[in-house]
Amino acid sequence: MPSFLSISRRCSIISVVLLSLLSGCTKPQDPVFIESEKAKGLVPDVRQAIASELLDTFGTVPAPESPLWFPIERGGIEGKIRSVKERSENGRITRIKIRYPEEAPEVVAGDVIEIVLDPETILEADLKAAEEGGVSAAYPYKVTVAEFSKISGIITLTEPLCELAEKGSPCIVKPNETLRTGRELYKQYCQKCHAATGDGNGPQAHMLKPKPRDLRLGVLKYTSTKTNSKASTEDLRNLLKGGIPGTAMPAFQILGNHEIDALAQYTKYLSMRGEIERGLCIESEIDFSQEVLDEQLEEAESAEEKREVKEQFQKDVEEYLKIDFPEIVFDVSFDLAEKWSEADEPESKFEIPGSRPDGTGPSRAEPSISSLANGKFLYLSTSAQCASCHGLTGKGDGDQVSKVQKKPDGSDYEEPGLHDVWGNVVVPRDLTYGVFHGASNPSEDIADVVYRAIGAGIKGTPMPAYGGKSLTDDQIWDLVNYIFFLAGDYKDVTPESLDVKKPAAKK
C-alpha cells in the first residue's frame, strides 16, 4: 500500500499532466471526468494538451460548459455591453453595465459573463498568438462576476475580459445554467449506470446486459433518423421518457418536460465531450502515441542516437501543438457540431414509406403469395440472411452467434458472437418475444419501429440497414408482418402454410 504522502506527491506531479487523476487527491465529493484509454496511449504533452482543451471547452463535472456554437441548449441570458466603466492597465474591460432585451436578471458574485465570439475569430487570434509568441486576444472570453451593484447595475469582474470585448459586444449572462441543471439530474438518475464521464461504467453497470451505453462515441442505437445521422434531440427526449423496453434503461416518467430537456442536453454534452476527446486522440495518435516514440527509440542504435530521436520528437510535438493542433481542434469540433445539428433537420428523419399491408392478404411485392409468406421467404433467403443472425425460428440463435468474428482491424474477437462498435458482444433480438427495443415512444406504431429497424438498421450494431438497397419498401413491410408472426400474432396461421412451394422470383 503506498502511503498517503506518496500518493499525494505523485498526484501533484501527475495532475499537471492529467487533471482527471486529481480525484485521488481530493475528498470524495463530485467525481471528475476520466481520461479515455485512447488518450492514455499518447505522449504526455499531447495528453495534457487534450486534457486542457477538454477542460477549456467543457469545464468540469460540477461546472459543465459548452461553447455557444455547439448545438447544445446550454442556457443563459443574452445581453450587450452597454457601457464600460473601468479598464485595466492594458486597456481590458474590468467593470461594465449590460443591457438586456428583456428583464434584467438577478446577477450575483460567482456568476459567469461570456462575450460572444465566433469560433473562427477565436482560432485566428490563437494562431496569431502562436506565431507571434504572445497571448491570444480571445481569452478570457468568459469571466466571473466579483461584485454586482443592484443600485447602479454595474458589474465588477474578477479579471479583465479579452482584448476583443468592447462596448456593444454581445454577451451571455449565466451561460450553461441548463447544463448545470442537467448535471444535477444526471447525478441523481443516470450516473449509477452511465458514470460521471458517460463511459457506461457506473457502479451498477457490471450487473447489466446489455451494458449501459458508453455515450462517448456519440452513437445511439434507437433513433428516428437515417442510418448515417446522429440522434435528434426529440429522439433523446423520447428515449428518456420511454426508456428502452427489454433493457435496464428506465423510463423516466416521473420527470417533467423541463427536466427531460435538461437531461437530453446534458446527454448530448457528454457525447460531444467524449467524441471530441476521441477525435483529437485519433488525429494525434498517428504521430504522437507513446508507441510511435518507443518504436523510434528502439530503432536508434546508440545512446547518442536515442537522445537525438527524443529531441527531434519533442520538437515535433511542440510544433504540432502550436500550429496543427488548434486547427485540428477547430475542425473536429466544427464537424461534430454540424453532425449533431443536422440530426435535428427534417431531412435527417428516416421516412417510413407506405403503410403496413394485411399479413394474410397478397404481398405487394409478390402478389401471387401472401405478405406473410413472402416475409417468411425473405427472412430465410440467402440474400437477406436474417436467419443467419436471428435463427430459423427467430429466437436470436443463428449461426453467427456462435462464430468467432473479426474486429475492424482484422484480428479475432476473444469471445464468439456478434459485436457492436463499443466492442461488446451483442445478441440478435429474440423475435419471438415481441419486445422491441426501439419502441421508446409510446405514440409510435410498433410496426413502424420494426420497419425502421429493418430499413435503417440499428446504429452501432451489426443489424444491417436494408432500405433502399437490398430490399424494396414492400418487401420490408412483408418482413414486418412476418416478425409479428414470429412474435405470436396471427394465431390462426400455421408456419407450414407460409412455406412457398416455388421460390418467389428474387428482385
Rg (CA), the chain: 28
Give the whole-angstrom CA distance, residue 313 versus residue 292.
10
- Cβ at position 372, least distance to ligand HEC in Å: 13
For the bound state, the minimum distance from the C-beta of residue 339 to ligand HEC, rounded and expressed in Å, comes to: 16
Query: Smallest gap, in angstroms, from Cβ of residue 262 to ligand HEC?
Result: 10
- Angle (CA) 268-271-276 rounded to 5° is 120
Which CB sits closer to ligand HEC, 30 or 305? 30
> Is 84 in a helix, a strand, or coil?
strand
Q: Which residues contact 10 (CB under 8 A, 6 or more apart)?
A: 2
**Between residues 142 and 237, which has the closer beta carbon with respect to ligand HEC?**
237
Q: Least distance in Å: CB of 220 to ligand HEC?
A: 4
Nearest to ligand HEC of 39, 418 (CB atom) = 418
Please name the residues in contact with 58: beta carbons below 8 A apart, sequence gap of 6 or more.
33, 64, 65, 66, 269, 272, 273, 276
Report, in Å, the least distance between residue 247 CB and ligand HEC: 4
State which residue, 250 or 362, has the beta carbon closest to ligand HEC: 250
Q: Closest CB to ligand HEC among 92 and 221?
A: 221
Query: What secondary structure does DSSP assign to 121-173, as a single string?
Result: HHHHHHHHHHHHTS--TT--SEEEEEEE-TTT--EEESSPPPTT--TT-EEEE
Give the binding site for ligand HEC (CB under 6 A): 189-190, 192-194, 204, 208, 210, 212-213, 215, 220-222, 239-240, 244, 247-250, 252, 263, 267, 384-386, 388-390, 400, 418, 426, 428-429, 436-438, 449-450, 453-454, 458, 461-464, 466, 479, 483
User: What cell does 133 get?
Assistant: 509568441
**Measured from the CB of residue 190, what is the shortest distance to ligand HEC in angstroms?**
3
| Residue 115 vs 426, nearer CB to ligand HEC | 426
Nearer to ligand HEC among residue 126 and residue 259 (C-beta): 259
**What is the closest distance, in whole angstroms, from the C-beta atom of residue 19 to ligand HEC in the complex?**
24
β-pairing verdict for 155-157 and 93-99: antiparallel
DSSP H/E element including 189: helix 177-189
Task: Measure the CA–CA gap between 130 and 76, rounded to whole angstroms.
Answer: 31
CA separation for the pair 292, 330 (Å, rounded): 25
